[in-house]
Amino acid sequence: MRHGDVPAVADADPLLVGGSDPEGHAGGLADQLAARAEDVWCQAQPPNDPPHLSFSRLEAKITDVMGLYLHPPANAVVVCVDEKSQVQALERTQPILPMRPGIPERQTHDYARHGITCLFAALNTATGEVTDACYPRHRHQEFLKFLKKVAAAYPAQELHVVCDNYSTHKHAEVKAWLVKNPRITLHFTPTGYSWLNLVECFFSIITRQAIRRGSFTSVKQLVATIGTFIDDWNDHPRPFTWTKDAGEIISKINCAKTKTSGLTEH
């Protein structure tokens, strides 16, 4: 194995898939996958970066984001932004059968594709309200356009935006616009840690309740369904409550790293 390679799960110790080690210690799969993601994140740093420096950056990013959730700045708005790319307009070949007593809703396995859209969403962590937009693509141009829409939704307020490390979020045009708008600050989750972004909870809900349960004859119909769902959501918004602080998350990562250190070369 070359330096920096991450072994496939199939070649790894059964600890990764079994949920406990041979001595009976509890070891959740989520913790161990998080450790593997952190390993990859560390390896993605410049080759001259000492491992402890890479991990300190990971800790700093986790602490930064958790601070916004648990102790948001006074008189400021915190939003979580992300893209749900390539949302497909799928038309089922037969009508979806509704639920009946003892029988779940059913749909055919085959479908016709009618195109895709990219859903951009910004979740207000305090109120649960969602600002959204659908674009055909998800380049830096679309991200900047959406960022301007979010800024307009919260005028004259200090705005903190949590997002992932997708390259479009760090494009030169985005950075130039942020310089001209100092009231807006981007906070990046570590690479491989998009689950720290609260908007992913909303994406899970809209996917299960609106997108996967629909049959769409066009992208226009899909976008309209997404818009209707979000309008209804905003009529009665429900904020998500984050309960784990940075120390607890980092402690679990360290614990999982200790268990999997023999599986990954640094």
Domains for the chain: give ranges and CATH numbers: 9-65+245-260 (no CATH), 75-235 (3.30.420.10)
**What are the structure tokens assigned to 123, written together?**
């979740």
**Element housing 122 (H / E):** strand 111-124
Sheet of 158-163: strand order equals 130-135, 111-124, 76-92, 158-163, 184-188
CB distance 242 to 162 below 8 Å: no
> Residue 29: what pLDDT?
53
Give Cβ neighbours of residue 25 (< 8 Å, ≥ 6 apart). 259
Instruction: Please say if the pLDDT value at position 103 is more than 70.
Output: yes
Tell me, what amino acid is at 34? A
Other Cβ atoms within 10 Å of 31 Cβ, number: 17
pLDDT (tens digit, 9 = 90+) per residue, 200-258? 999 999 999 999 888 899 999 999 999 999 999 999 999 999 999 999 999 888 887 77
> Residue 10: what pLDDT?
42
CB distance 41 to 190 below 8 Å: yes
Nearest to 197 by CA among 162, 169, 165: 162
Q: How confident is the model at residue 52 (pLDDT cuts 50, 70, 90)?
A: very low
> Residue 57: what pLDDT?
86
Instruction: Please say if the pLDDT value at position 13 is more than 50.
Output: no
Of 28-42, 116-130, 151-165, 183-197, least confident by mean pLDDT is: 28-42
Q: Which residue has the higher pLDDT, 136 or 36?
A: 136
Instruction: Please say if the pLDDT value at position 12 is more than 50.
Output: no
Q: Average pLDDT for residues 77-98, to the nearest whole number?
A: 90
Place of tokens 């001259």: 48
Q: Average pLDDT for residues 51-55, to the nearest whole number?
A: 59
Nearest to 225 by CA among 87, 123, 80, 111: 87
> Residue 55: what pLDDT?
75
The radius of gyration of the chain's CA atoms, rounded to the nearest angstrom, is: 21
